[in-house]
Amino acid sequence: MKKLFTIIFCVATFQSLTSLAQPAYTDTSLYEENFRPNYMQSYRPAAVNTPVITQLKQISYQNSPYRTRLDAIQGDVQLDYNEFVQAYISNYTSASRRDEMGRIIGLTKYYFPIYEKAFKDAGIPDEIKYLSIVESALNPNAVSRVGATGPWQFMYSTAKIYGLDMNNYVDERRDPIQASYAAAAYLRDAYQEFGDWLLAIASYNCGKNSVERAMQQANAVDFWSIRQYLPAETRGYVPAFIATMYVMKYHNEHGIVPQACNITLNTDTVMVNKFISLNNIAKALSIDVNQLSLLNPSYTKRVINGTTKAPRRIVIPQIGKEQYPQLYAALNGEVVAPIQKVYTPQPEEAIAITAKTGTSHTVKRGETYSIIAGKYGIDEEDLRIWNNVKGKKPLPGQKLKVSAPNLAAGATKAGKELAAIGSAQGAGGN
């Protein structure tokens, strides 16, 4: 009888501990600023830690269906399962968050193919694309309380280091393509320094120096061992990433219904070499200027600040041949009557990006063909074909054509169409 009482007491104590093993936050919206819950109040585990309780907890998490599911989607990034990860899974799958998670799943149809290509080009594990959900809930216009901006939440100084441009007209931190290549570059550098993807991800939130200090204090080289020495926000950042990936993969198990994507998926890209208003292009093509702005979030004044020396990219909903004259006229500042046709987004179509004008790029030191192709939203193979090159790296100062030769401004379908970019840069708040 005494033994039975002891077992019952241990189980009851374990259940109490499990209920306490939650981040201490009060979240009133789906990441008011970024997507992160307000876990700035540091979580402290219960002091009770008897060998029996520890063993019960280990058995519980080892036999959990959540762990089995995470094991099934393990890739290059280690997806651990513990009370911290479970706390976030419970939060994200709660009834109050299902609609918002369904909306984000819908947005992945547009943003994930962009991320996948950038990560593939940089040699970054595909699954790290889910980090952008933790950062911004896939909102290119997200701005944190400390000024981190865009879908990958770059701080100004870090964005500059990784080649993003910010001026009176453009903020490339908001550009999903440019920012994804910059995020990939940051994460690649961090992994080369730490040799561990979870540590690289942690550094994206708090900076490499903070991770280095925590490693020294803990005398350890893995995230869970140094976690208590990291800033409060970063302690929850990695568990939030793992939980987010879990929810995106297993949303059906929790009654989360994916919603339709509200962004035009079938698109074209045009290189512009003069100042042009997004309003004029939207009017000429009879499309909603807000939809056009959503496709081009980096233009903060809705003005494309292109020049002959520095052409700018604009993404437009894919159009029919009958609209080419209107687009050409708008790109060249001519006044034309718009075609009476309203573009209807087709949510289930794949993204299609094509280069459109005969502009050139002067190679800078450290740039690769892949980086240059990503900058202009074109395919590396096209870039090599148009310039008849076979070497591994371009030479600094070399001029490269970044679209099909002899193509008039505003023409379409040049080069190899990048249909379905899917199957493929921080950083955030540091």
DSSP state of 222: S
CA within 13 Å, CB half, 172:
25
DSSP state of 274: S
What pLDDT, on the 0 to 100 scale, is given for residue 96?
94
The string of pLDDT tens digits covering residues 116-160 is 999 999 999 999 999 999 999 999 999 999 999 999 999 999 999
Residue 314: φ, ψ to 5° = -130, 135
DSSP state of 299: B
Residue 416: φ, ψ to 5° = -85, 125
What pLDDT, on the 0 to 100 scale, is given for residue 359?
67
* pTM (two decimals): 0.70
> Helices 380-387 and 369-376 meet at what angle, rounded to 10?
110
Per the structure block, which two tokens stand in for 142?
A: 């997200």
Per-residue pLDDT of the chain (430 residues; tens, 9 = 90+): 544 444 444 444 444 433 333 333 323 223 333 344 333 233 333 333 444 444 445 555 666 899 999 999 999 999 999 999 999 999 999 999 999 999 999 999 999 999 999 999 999 999 999 999 999 999 999 999 999 999 999 999 999 999 999 999 999 999 999 999 999 999 999 999 999 999 999 999 999 999 999 999 999 999 999 999 999 999 999 999 999 999 999 999 999 999 999 899 999 999 898 899 999 999 988 889 999 999 999 999 999 999 988 899 999 999 888 888 888 888 887 655 544 444 444 443 333 333 333 467 888 877 888 778 777 767 777 778 778 887 778 888 888 887 655 433 333 333 332 222 222 223 565 4
Per the structure block, which two tokens stand in for 162?
A: 């990784």
Angle at 318 between CA 143 and CA 283, to 5 degrees: 75
Per the structure block, which two tokens stand in for 118?
A: 């950038």
Name which of 41, 50, 45, 39 is nearest 13 in CA terms: 50
What pLDDT, on the 0 to 100 scale, is given for residue 361?
83
- Measure the CA–CA gap between 309 and 353, rounded to whole angstroms: 22
Name which of 380, 315, 375 is nearest 178 in CA terms: 375
CB 326 within 8 A of CB 287: no
Name which of 222, 175, 158 is nearest 196 in CA terms: 222
Q: How many CB atoms lie within 10 A of CB 47?
A: 5
